[in-house]
Chain A
Amino acid sequence: MSTFGGDDVDKVINAMRTLSYERLVLIGESSIDGSEGLREIELLEQLAGREVEVDHVDKQGFLEQVDAVSEALTKHIHDTASGSRNTVALNISGGSKILGDAALLAAFRIGIEAYHCAEKVTKLPVLKGANVVDMFTPLQTEFITCVGDRDLTLDEVVSRLGNKSRQSAERILRELRRAGILRTEIRTGKIRVSLSELGSELGRMIRMTRGERSVTRR
């Protein structure tokens, strides 16, 4: 997969030469449709008996673009028809600056092999299959998922967690609060818990790594 802006064919060709691939997917704005550049790449692929797939990312905001690229990556990783997983490598050098940066962030978010293919080709230090979610324990991710977009009392969280003791829940709460993932406040004598902006982002990443394709930004 490669980000593409319509006129930066060289970067995509560099990626095509550097990485072995079976299927080429371009990520770019709708305006790339019908561009000279896209036609050139399509012709090259036709010579190999292949078609180019194009995923459109037309979001304006940076984080919305990150979500859209992440969604496209997740879609191609999980092959719903066969139920298998595809190996995806991403080149981030094409397209606008905002799209390239969004793609970089998405690669780290999901943990896929990523490259910056320009005159020089740089492999990015993304560990395959490893993402930020891996840095949290299963209990911590369960806590984050359980809180979600809600504003809950600690008692409600303990009850939703089911088989966890209040002591464990309090320990996780302290850990996540220290990491800036959770916000807490005391209202009417009760501890209320909600996710910070960072925590919400982590929540989205947890849902994506579980294979949810469309994880909307609220």
Chain B
Amino acid sequence: MFGTLGYRPKSLIPTIRSTPNVEKVVFYCGADKHEPEAVKKVAEAKSAVLGYCKSLKIAVDAVELEDPFDFKGIALRIRGDIRKHKREGKDIGIFNIAGGTRPTSSAALLACILEGVPTVYVHDLTYEEIHLPLLRMEYSRILSGEEREMLRRLLKARPAEFTEVELARLVGKHKATVNHHLRNLVSKGVIRLESHSEDSRKRIVRVEESAELLLGDDS
């Protein structure tokens, strides 16, 4: 099982208890390094969870987040880890997103939505577990193969910029075909078309930062 941890071990431990046959616990934690009190509280919570897992003879991996307020960095890290586990043929039974900073919890939820991982929230006061009925957002079923390929190429080539014609050449497709896919991607808010600084007849294709999160480590 995966989880996020802040000051309260009780936000994570109920899920370890209620999940049958947990082989390994991976949890993400971190505190603002400029706040000694926060660093101390997170260290205490981490130590409590490590101790609990040790007592139950469950393998545990505590992942220290460099910046627990960097939403995008955390989302990419967690999504990458989930994918790595899946590639290794391991099942992620549950992801508890109750603990940690607000950006950590939201980033974990985002990764779970994109990867279709069963997710649980623990109530702040009652410690009751709330299983979230998440349906995986499979963008592969919403974006066409050509659209995903264009996004991948654009992301890989950053910071290089392309006009529509240059992009068509890059992906080896006719300009009209590329134009059709680009219009779809613009309407879905994944890219923008901006005027060329030197030639107003040309348009530069700009990929939104969110495309990186959309494709994950596929990009």
Q: B-contacting residues of A (Cβ < 8 Å)?
A: 61-63, 92-93, 97-98, 100-101, 104-105, 108, 113, 116, 118-120, 122-132, 134-135, 197-198, 200-202, 205
Contacts and interface: CB of A to CB of B under 8 A. Distances in A.
Contacts of B209: 122-123
B70 A135 contact: no
Nearest to A198: B133
A143 B189 CA distance: 31
Contacts of B142: 127, 130, 134-135
24 contacts: A61-B130, A62-B121, A93-B71, A100-B102, A101-B105, A101-B121, A104-B106, A104-B109, A105-B109, A113-B189, A116-B71, A116-B103, A116-B106, A122-B71, A122-B213, A124-B110, A124-B210, A125-B214, A128-B189, A132-B136, A134-B141, A135-B135, A135-B142, A197-B131
A134 B139 CA distance: 10
B188 A127 contact: yes
B208 interface: yes
Interface of B: 69-72, 75, 97, 102-103, 105-106, 109-110, 113-114, 121, 123-124, 130-139, 141-143, 187-190, 208-211, 213-214
A62 B126 CA distance: 13
A61 B69 CA distance: 25
Nearest to A5: B102
A62 B128 CA distance: 11
Given A116-B72, A127-B214, A130-B139, 8 more contacts: A62-B121, A62-B123, A104-B113, A119-B69, A125-B211, A130-B142, A132-B136, A134-B141
B106 A125 contact: no
Contact of A108 (B75, B103, B137, B208): B137
Given A113-B189, A135-B138, A108 B105 contact: no
Contacts of A202: 135
Contacts of A61: 130
A81 B135 CA distance: 33
Contact of B133 (A126, A131, A201): A201
A2 to B, nearest CB: 14
Contact of B130 (A63, A132, A198): A63
B110 A132 contact: no
B103 to A, nearest CB: 7
A101 B133 contact: no
A118 B81 CA distance: 24
B94 to A, nearest CB: 15
A124 B79 CA distance: 14
A101 B124 CA distance: 14
A203 B110 CA distance: 21
Contacts of B121: 62, 98, 101
A68 B210 CA distance: 26
B213 A125 contact: yes
Contacts of A127: 139, 142-143, 188-190, 214
B110 A104 contact: yes
B140 to A, nearest CB: 10
B139 A120 contact: no
Nearest to B143: A127
Nearest to B102: A97
A126 B208 CA distance: 11
Contacts of A129: 187-188
A118 B109 contact: no
A126 B189 CA distance: 8
B133 A118 contact: no
A169 to B, nearest CB: 22
Contact of B135 (A63, A101, A198): A198
Nearest to A60: B123
The 4 A-B residue pairs whose C-beta atoms are closest, nearest first, are: A125-B214, A201-B133, A128-B189, A123-B210
B133 A132 contact: no
In the complex, which of the residues B133, B213, B214 has the most CB atoms of chain A within 10 Å of its own CB atom?
B133
